[in-house]
């Protein structure tokens, strides 16, 4: 019975394009060292290197990405957000402009949760990416609601070609808002 269920699982996964336990999953994730991002302040790059972070790359973009800047905490205060991957898990680390320690660590997830089959041959690819989202874009999505005003940037945390969540700091607390679909 156990063998039959295992065969059924493998067959169902193959039909749906879902990676199975027998496939080598995480080698599908292209990763860059912090030093590949020359715009990153040295103090942040050094911290990421000491922590043994790599920056995973989504299949969607060829240029290095998942390191962004914006006013994520409050208007007028620049910050950096980096998708840091360590030991098969990624989290968004948020730094003040030239800080050597993160202010916050958000949305830690297993890297394999962001793998999907793409293209006609079903190649397995990593699909998580972060982007800065302006306050007017956030407001445009929530104008119909009587909610908070948005006066600084948010972080769009996306599963490519699926959906996203906007991470927004309001009075020191991080909100999760519906992003693009």
Q: Distance (Å, rounded) from C-alpha 40 to C-alpha 58?
A: 19
Instruction: Tell me: pLDDT of 13 over 50.
Output: no
Give the model's pLDDT for residue 179: 77
Average pLDDT over residues 87-94: 96
pTM score, whole prediction: 0.81
- Can you give the pLDDT at residue 97? 85
Instruction: Tell me if residue 56 falls in helix, strand or coil.
Output: strand
Contact by Cβ (8 Å): 36, 26: no
pLDDT exceeds 90 at position 153: yes
Distance CA 121, CA 114 (A): 18
At 178 the pLDDT is 82
| Chain segment 105-127, per-residue pLDDT in tens | 999 999 999 999 988 888 899 99
Mean pLDDT for the stretch of residues 11-40: 64
C-alpha 180/C-alpha 164 separation (Å) is 5
pLDDT tens by residue, 48-62: 999 999 999 999 888
């Amino acid at each position: 019975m156990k063998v039959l269920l295992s065969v059924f699982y493998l067959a169902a996964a193959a039909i749906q394009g879902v990676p199975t336990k027998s496939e080598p999953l995480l080698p599908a994730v292209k990763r860059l060292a912090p030093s590949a991002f020359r715009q990153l302040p040295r103090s942040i790059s050094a911290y990421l290197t000491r922590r043994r972070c790599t920056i995973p790359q989504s299949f969607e973009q060829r240029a290095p990405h998942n390191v962004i800047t914006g006013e994520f905490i409050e208007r007028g205060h620049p910050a950096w957000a980096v998708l840091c991957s360590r030991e098969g898990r990624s989290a968004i680390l948020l730094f003040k402009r030239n800080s050597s320690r993160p202010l916050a660590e958000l949305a830690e997830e297993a890297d394999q949760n962001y793998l999907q089959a793409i293209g006609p041959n079903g190649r397995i690819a990593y699909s998580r990416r972060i982007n800065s989202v302006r306050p007017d874009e956030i407001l445009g999505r929530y104008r119909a609601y009587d909610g908070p005003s948005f006066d600084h940037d948010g972080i769009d945390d996306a599963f490519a070609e699926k959906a996203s969540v906007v991470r927004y700091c309001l009075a020191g607390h991080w909100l999760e808002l519906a992003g693009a679909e």
